[in-house]
Structure 1
Amino acid sequence: MTSPSGSSPAEAAAFLEAHPEIEAFDIVLTDVNGIGRGKIIRRHELMAIYEGGRHMPISILGLDITGEDVHETGLIWDSGDGDLRAWPIPGTLLPLHGTSPARGQVLLSMYHLDGTPMSSDPRHALVRQVEAFAARGLKPAGAFELEFFLLKNERDAEGRVQPAHAVLDGRHSGKTEVYSVDHLHGMEPLFSDIYAGAKAQSIPTETLISEYAPGQYELTLHYRDDVVRAADDLVLLKRLVRMQARRNGVTACFMAKPIEKYAGSGMHFHISMPDQAGRNVFAEETEGTWNEALLHALGGMAATMPESMLVFAPHANSWRRFVAQSYAPLAPTWGVNNRSVALRVPAGGVKARRIEHRVSGVDTNPYLVAATVLAAIAKGFDEKLDPGPETTGNGYETAPHLDSGPADWRSAIEAASASEFLKAALGPDLHSTFTAIKRAEYMRVARTVSELDYHLYLHEV
């Protein structure tokens, strides 16, 4: 059977010849929560996957954050938990740095047995949106930023997480070492491994920053002329950072808000819109005079943001990130060179004009985020939506706040479930799968008696 993903046995054969040392491979399918699920296969099994795909259960796309079946998705016993066929994503067959014995990995995407895309696979939703823009003569380009914490493996006496000591010499800092270059040196062995792993996997990793909280860092990725590959980059980089942190004796944390008194971690998405000739349609003819395409894109993103918040903040913890003065936006606002808004037009040359979508936490699925943002831009184009006045100065003080959209996780689930826009953006099947999983996860959290309950109520009520 010809691979519906475009993968080729020649790619696998060339890789095996170039890497005789590799004995096994991680085969990874990304679910709606952005979790990589799959298997470790032996070297001799790889060619068969490229020649005929790999049977995997349909239920792998109907799991909650803990890996439990969510029966309401219709992907478990409604279909007898039958197998579908996963195929390799071209260009993602790559070596893993520092493993012993040597291993590689390849990302997979799910298809029906007849080769049609499985509509609850998040990557297919993004591919569909990109294809819709191709029909308009446009090819979205972009990149994600990755913010994360490096934590000790052990929690403190009160059960709270703690910033990791420097892996170089064990030095500890409880300060916000934002933009401190010297502070980065303490994690140099770990980041050297990350950069080496990124080079081996052709992940275009660039700038490293000490961010705005103890133990918080940011890695940026080079801009791609293919938004799907940009999302692949983010998926691969998160796996790489987590693996290399563990090998260096610390924990990489991708929660949106792991430490209550400090800023959370975002996954900012930069997006521009070249046409077939390579001209960026967001670029204005005269710098500072915004063109209609840019404004309509901002208008679509702002108008659809309230009903899309479940994509951008999919977990209970996600909502703790939205705090004033914390570099996380509180309303669907836009501005120029302003980090207090949700949609930022960065400073820079006209040809590089882009929008930075600052809403998503690092705990989100980049395929869902990019698909939703692109659908919003398309809506803005089609309906010529106005983003409203530009927010200047301190957007936390001058802009409306969360009363313009869902104020919490439950409200976001309800808004997403009722959203015709989101249903079209993700496709009806993925929309149903995603919202069913989120409702199940909400009920799991709602019925859990936490340590906070005992702290507040045990001796008081």
Structure 2
Amino acid sequence: MTQSPSGSDIAEAEDFLAAHPEIEAFDIVLHDANGIGRGKIIRRHELPGLYKGGRHLPISILGLDIVGEDVHETGLIWDQGDGDLRAWPIPGTLKSLHGTNPPRGELLMSMYHLDGAEMTSDPRHALKRQVAAMAAEGLHPAGAFELEFFLLDPDQSQGVRPAAAVLDGRRSDWTEVYSVDHLHGMEPLFTDIYRAAEAMGINAETVISEYAPGQYELTLHYRTDVMQAADDLIRLKRIVRMQARRHGVTACFMAKPIEKYAGSGMHFHVSLCDDQGRNVFAEEVEGRWTDTIRHAIGGLRATMGESMLVFAPHSNSWRRFANQSYAPVSPSWGVNNRSVALRIPAGELKARRIEHRPAGVDANPYLVGATILAGIRHGLAHRIDPGPETQGNGYEGGDDLPMPGDWREAIRAAQGSAFLKEALGPDMHRTFTAIKAAEYQRVARWIADVDYALYLHNA
């Protein structure tokens, strides 16, 4: 038996198999730079061997673009002969999948070199590294992501439109924001989502009908471990997609699937505790902000422009940013204000936190988390003043901090960013920016329908 560098223990597999004799197979899932799950389905008898010696996977699995094509510029393909590395189980992530027939389980994996060193183009290691850096500074982040998404009709012959209610087939093209009765039409689907989340040990909480037809939001329980918070989010996306498909609808995690309606965000709520467990963001007198939370916001503001590729990683991501859309358009901050990028929510002092709002639901939560923690560390280290709080409408007026105007500018800013290279690590930075540059070229070559609409008869 080879010592597992991830800390996994075969006892976890043995106990799980004993407790679940019905499970016949397991999805083993490793997440790439885009947050897409790559891996294999193994049979029950293979699980103990996976814990004893890991599983060989090609290095190229971490150098793929959004559609699974090799990106040679990452240096992870033929430069290294597409050799095998070894993926190891992440402790505590062996769970059962709800509703599969025959019954299956799921196990998250992380990539290591054959000598046991971390493969630092694995995005999970980027977040792990920032958590460790904070711990060395006596700080421990806690947080939770919010999941916004659309449920769409799988038949797109009449265009992209909201899915009919799975309960009775009723269809609504109205916004229906916060309508409880509207939620009832999707009750069978959400019941299965909650059951699947429970089987995974994920505390999925409130569901609401969001600010667009067919758009919903699920909140997650606040975690004292942000690694687990990111695991929760990435697994919940898979759960929603899987259960929606079983109910005959399509779960959509594009940032902006419908032109005239709001897009879908992945807001990250984050706080910091010291070694004694005290929330260092919490002020003694309400509204008299601590230097810690002010400098944290200052660091997030100062680094946001060069980090936007992490928060808005795709061409479609940039369609989400528009005035009065509930998506921020500048690195503003404010209190109890949903028009800003960095919001201090209302609530009890002991729960004081920052809500980071720029990221779309199409972003990779491990990279988002790593970048946000690095931004906070940057602000604390340099005692960066956040500037004046935005009062009222954050969409009015400008900001003195530069922000990229589109995907291409974001790629260039990220490529040249010393901060982002440190935040993600040099290997993950190179891999991520190379993949994004390749995806940009793919989109740039695409002749879209709008080209024919505008230019076919007029140019």
1: distance between equivalents of 2:89 and 2:398?
Answer: 45
Work out whether 1:135 is the aligned partner of 2:143. Answer: no
For 1:111 and 1:442, how far apart are their aligned partners in 2?
Answer: 29
Q: 2:89 corresponds to which residue?
A: 88
Deviations 1:261-283 (A, max 9, x none): 00000000000001111100001
1:305 and 1:134 map into 2 onto residues whose CA distance is 23
- TM-score normalised to structure 2 length: 0.99
**Equivalence for 1:414:** 412
Say whether 1:458 aligns with 2:456.
yes
Q: Which amino acid aligns with 2:103?
A: A
Q: How many angstroms does 1:399 deviate by?
A: 4.1
For 1:365 and 1:376, locate their aligned partners in 2 and report how far apart those are by CA, in whole Å.
Answer: 17
Letter in 2 for 1:359: P
Aligned residue in 1 for 2:178: 179
Q: Does 1:252 align with 2:282?
A: no
CA shift for structure 1 position 452: 1.1
Give the whole-Å Cα distance in 1 for the aligned partners of 2:324 and 2:151: 22
What is the CA-CA distance between 1:2 and the residue it aligns to? 1.2
Say yes or no: does 1:153 pair with 2:151.
no
- Partner Cα distance (1:176, 1:258) in 2: 14
Inter-partner Cα distance in structure 1 for 2:4 and 2:12: 12
Code of the residue aligned with 1:278 in structure 2: it is G
Structure-2 residue corresponding to 1:13:
14
Q: Residue 391 of structure 1 contacts residue 398 of structure 1 at CA under 8 Å; is this kept in 2?
A: no
Aligned to 1:315: 314
Q: 1:363 & 1:279 partners in 2: Cα distance?
A: 33
Task: Tell me the SS of whatever aligns to 1:106.
Answer: strand
1:156–1:162 contact (8 Å) kept in structure 2: no
Comparing 282-291 with 354-363, greater Cα deviation is found at 282-291
> For residue 37 of structure 2, what is the amino acid of its counterpart?
G
SS in 2 for 1:38: strand
- Report SS of the residue matched to 1:84: strand
Q: What SS does the corresponding residue of 2:206 show, helix, strand or coil? A: strand
Cα shift at 1:404:
2.5
Q: Structure 1 residue 398: deviation in Å?
A: 3.6
Partner of 2:351: 352
Equivalent position of 2:384 in the other structure = 385
Paired position in structure 1 for 2:423:
425
- Contact kept? 1:89, 1:109, Cα under 8 Å: yes
**Deviations, residues 16-74 of structure 1 (Å, cap 9, x unaligned):** 00000000000000001010000111001111111110000000000000100000000
Q: How much does 1:441 deviate?
A: 0.1
1:34-73 paired onto structure 2 within 5 Å: 34-73=35-74
1:446 to 439, 444, 448: 444
Q: Secondary structure at the match of 1:114?
A: coil
Query: Which amino acid counterpart does residue 92 of structure 1 have in structure 2?
Result: T
Q: Distance in 2 between matches of 1:367 and 1:196?
A: 25
Structure 2: how far apart are the matches of 1:249 and 1:90?
A: 33
- Once the two structures are superposed, residues 178-235 of structure 1 have per-residue CA deviations (whole angstroms, 9 ceiling, x without a partner) of 0000000000010000000011110110000000000000000000000011000001
**Deviations 1:313-342 (Å, cap 9, x if unpaired)?**
000000000011110000000000000000
Q: How far is the alpha carbon of 1:397 from its aligned partner?
A: 1.1
| Partner Cα distance (1:315, 1:200) in 2 | 32
Contact 1:346–1:356 (CA<8 Å) still a contact in 2? yes
Residue of structure 2 equivalent to 1:341: 340
Q: Secondary structure at the match of 1:239?
A: helix
Secondary structure of the structure 2 residue equivalent to 1:432: helix
Instruction: Note the C-alpha offset of 1:367.
Output: 0.2
Q: Tell me, yes or no, if the aligned pair for 1:391 and 1:399 is still in contact at 8 Å.
A: no
Q: In structure 2, what is the equivalent of residue 371 of structure 1?
A: 370
Unaligned runs of 5+ in 1: none
With the length of structure 1 as denominator, give the TM-score of the two structures. Answer: 0.99
Alpha-carbon distance in 2 for matches of 1:57, 1:156: 38
Counterpart-to-counterpart distance in 2, 1:18 and 1:459? 67
Residue 156 of structure 1: CA displacement? 3.9
Structure 1 residue 400, shift from structure 2 partner: 3.1
User: 3-state SS of the aligned residue for 2:98?
Assistant: coil
Q: In percent, how many aligned pairs have the same letter? A: 73
Runs of 4+ residues over 2 Å off in structure 1: 398-401
Q: Which residue of 2 aligns with 1:210?
A: 209
Q: Secondary structure at the match of 1:161?
A: coil
**What is the DSSP-based 3-state SS (H/G/I as helix, E as strand, rest coil) of the residue aligned with 1:397?**
coil
- How many matched pairs? 458
Aligned residues: CA RMSD: 0.8
| SS in structure 2 at match of 1:396 | coil
Q: 1:122 Cα deviation (Å)?
A: 0.2
CA offsets 1:3-26 (integer angstroms, 9 cap, x no match): 111111000000000000000000
Gapped regions of structure 2 (runs ≥ 5): none
